[in-house]
Amino acid sequence: MACGCLLLLLAFRPAWPRRQAGLLIAVAVLGIAVSFYLLGSARLVRDTGARPTTAWGLSIGSIPMLAWFPPWTAHPSGALLVVAGLIAIVAVAATALAFSLSFASLRRITPTEFAVTSTLEPALAAVAAAVFLGVTLRAPQYVGGVLTMIAVLLLAPVDPGAR
């Protein structure tokens, strides 16, 4: 699955060998973070609920982003009220809703099922971008999508009632 997601997210670049070490470190850090998100969040949801888990997770996750890209350094173009509204809708409402629904699903499915189905997200996002936004995908991205879907099918239980 990791190979499929990596191919989906990264397009092949000729400078691959030069960036290999940095890419491997980034993938390792991302893997640790995603593992905690997918497997560790089940206990948090069970103990506190989906909405508080989402609120705390997004709040804590925003701290590094504030340091890395402070909002006061942004130079938006367009009417300030429109830009603020779009940011509120996309960055806050859509993100919080998506994470809340993901965490709420942990009350109905196991963390392993949650992790497996979550790996479809990059593939589905690529398909949606191609269909709705006219984004042209390249061969490695198609291969990544196919590998991701094959991995999900291989990991899915044969009997839907088996857990």
Torsion of CA 112, 115, 119, 122, to 10 degrees: 160
Are 96 and 87 in contact by the 8 Å Cβ rule? The answer is no
Distance CA 158, CA 26 (A): 34
Is residue 158 in some structural domain? no
Print the domain residue range for 91. 2-151
How many distinct structural domains can be found in the chain? 1
Residue 15 vs residues 11, 12, 26: alpha-carbon distances, Å: 11, 9, 16
pLDDT in tens, 77-87: 888 888 888 88
Structure tokens at 73: 């350094």
Is residue 160 in some structural domain? no
Is residue 157 in some structural domain? no
Is residue 162 in some structural domain? no
Are 158 and 21 in contact by the 8 Å Cβ rule? The answer is no
pLDDT in tens, 10-29: 554 545 555 666 667 767 77
Is residue 159 in some structural domain? no
Is residue 137 in some structural domain? yes
pLDDT in tens, 90-145: 877 778 888 888 888 888 888 878 877 887 888 888 888 889 989 888 888 888 88
Please identify which residue in the block is written with the tokens 């879907």: 149
